[in-house]
Amino acid sequence: MGKIEQLYKEWQQLQPIKPEEQKRLDDTFRLEFNYNSNHIEGNTLTYGQTKLLFMFGETVGNAKIRDYEEMKAHNVGLEIMKSEAQDKERPLTENFIRGLNKTILVEDFWKNTKTADGTPFRYKINVGVYKTRPNSVITASGDMFDYASPEETPALMTDLVRWYNAEADKCELSPVELAALLHYRYIRIHPFEDGNGRIARLLVNYVLLRHNIPMVVIKTDDKNDYLKMLHLCDVETGRVPVDGAYSTRQQIVPLIVYLSAVIADTIITNIQLLKEHKSGTMHNVWWYNGREVTIGNAKRQLLLEWLFHKPQCTVRELSDKLSINKSAIQKHLDFLKKNDYITRQGGTKGKWMVNLENSALSGGAII
């Protein structure tokens, strides 16, 4: 915890943050959290499509309508969670958790799946209510790993909320330990028929926000490490769901260590972004989904800067301004589109949207 405390002190020294810089951080988090938490669960929207959805309310590509609806609904859930967390006099409640599930899943729907023996079947997901059928997951070794039964779930959720509120009042656990333990106990109950992973990650940020710690994003490309840490906790607590629902701090050390590293990386990145933005120096390091991207090609760097400031420019205009032939311009554009670094909005008469962010560029905040 020492590293986080040290970084947090450095973060606090940068306060107060100018409103425009805070908005930049908030909007970037909104995009990255919604994209990654949904993508981990199979949402097919790209990072660029998600950005376009939140900036302009527009859709491109051939993603399912439900994926767009759930992405927008998840953002509503995020705002509800933030409002609830900031009211520090209000305790955590089951009604709040059930309401989050109902919000992010939008409405009841039918889901296709298979039984343990591979037989396909279809069942209805009822949003905002506890599960009425058993749920489980197939592990990497092919074993069936069961969550709490529908009969156990109501009492376990009542105990979970009661435990959390008591621990929050005692202040014996650090915020990171409390967030990790709430996440793990909740996920071993798996109280809903869908949306449990997204709710668990919202609850992590609920705890962090209540303690004034920057909220975190578990990246989709970290999914394997994230699931590995949960599995290591499963090994320690055992396969009985009730044991997992009452797990101790000592049994979930892998998740605490993992979450601590994510929080540390988040604070480091936020500090770096603020310092870069204040310096105002243009460089070739950009950010995509919270990761640094170095544009090593000088011509491609110039093209990105031009698209950033002149999004309605044509291939001919780019060729004239950058003194690059149109064929080379098109190759650069194809490369950037393939990597989801840029998105074309509105067809041939539309404009470019740069999905990368350069903290030294003015006007680069996500609106």
- How confident is the model over 223-248, as pLDDT tens digits? 999 999 999 999 999 999 999 999 99
Q: Is 50 exceeded by the pLDDT of residue 136?
A: yes
Q: Is the dihedral of CA 201, 191, 38, 87 positive or negative?
A: negative
Q: Is 50 exceeded by the pLDDT of residue 340?
A: yes
Q: Which residues contact 10 (CB under 8 A, 6 or more apart)?
A: 267, 271
What mean pLDDT is predicted for residues 170-192? 97
Q: Is 50 exceeded by the pLDDT of residue 350?
A: yes
How much is the pLDDT for 283? 57
Q: Report whether 9 contacts 269 (CB < 8 A).
A: no
Q: Is 80 exceeded by the pLDDT of residue 44?
A: yes
How much is the pLDDT for 256? 98
How much is the pLDDT for 364? 37
Residue identified by tokens 């105002």 is: 280
Best-predicted range by mean pLDDT (8-22, 192-206, 283-297, 312-326) = 192-206
How much is the pLDDT for 60? 72
How much is the pLDDT for 284? 60
Percent share of the chain, pLDDT over 70: 94
Mean pLDDT value across the chain: 89
Q: Is 70 exceeded by the pLDDT of residue 191?
A: yes
Q: Report whether 180 contacts 158 (CB < 8 A).
A: no
Q: Report whether 148 contacts 245 (CB < 8 A).
A: yes
Q: What is the 3-state secondary structure (H, E, C) of the chain?
A: CHHHHHHHHHHHHCCCCCHHHHHHHHHHHHHHHHHHHHHHCCCCCCHHHHHHHHHHCCCCCCCCHHHHHHHHHHHHHHHHHHHHHHCCCCCCCHHHHHHHHHHHHCCCEEEEEECCCCCEEEEEECCCCCCCCCCEEECCCCCEEECCCCCCHHHHHHHHHHHHHHHHHHCCCCHHHHHHHHHHHHHHHCCCCCCHHHHHHHHHHHHHHHCCCCCCCCCHHHHHHHHHHHHHHHHHHCCCHHHHHCCCHHHHHHHHHHHHHHHHHHHHHHHHHHHHHHHCCCCCEEEECCEEEECCCHHHHHHHHHHHHCCCCCHHHHHHHHCCCHHHHHHHHHHHHHCCCEEEECHHHCEEEECCECCCCCCCCCC
- Residue 238 region, left (φ>0) first, then alpha (ψ -120 to 50), else beta? left
What mean pLDDT is predicted for residues 248-265? 97
> What class does CATH assign to 2-276?
mainly alpha
pTM of the model as a whole:
0.85
What mean pLDDT is predicted for residues 69-87? 97
Q: Where are the domains of the chain?
A: 2-276, 284-354
Percent share of the chain, pLDDT over 90: 61
Neighbours of 252 (CB within 10 A): 26
How much is the pLDDT for 251? 98
Residue 111 structure tokens:
């889901």
CATH number for the domain formed by residue range(s) 284-354: 1.10.10.10
Q: Is 70 exceeded by the pLDDT of residue 213?
A: yes
Higher pLDDT, 115 or 316: 316
Q: How wide is the angle at C-alpha 166 spanned by C-alphas 170 and 87, nearest 5°?
A: 90
How much is the pLDDT for 57? 80
Q: Which of 6-10, 74-78, 93-97, 259-263 has the lowest mean pLDDT?
A: 6-10
Residue type, 77: G
Q: Is 80 exceeded by the pLDDT of residue 347?
A: no
Higher pLDDT, 223 or 279: 223
Q: Is 50 exceeded by the pLDDT of residue 189?
A: yes
- Residue 65 region, left (φ>0) first, then alpha (ψ -120 to 50), else beta? alpha
What is the rounded CA–CA span in Å between residue 103 and residue 129?
12
How much is the pLDDT for 367? 22
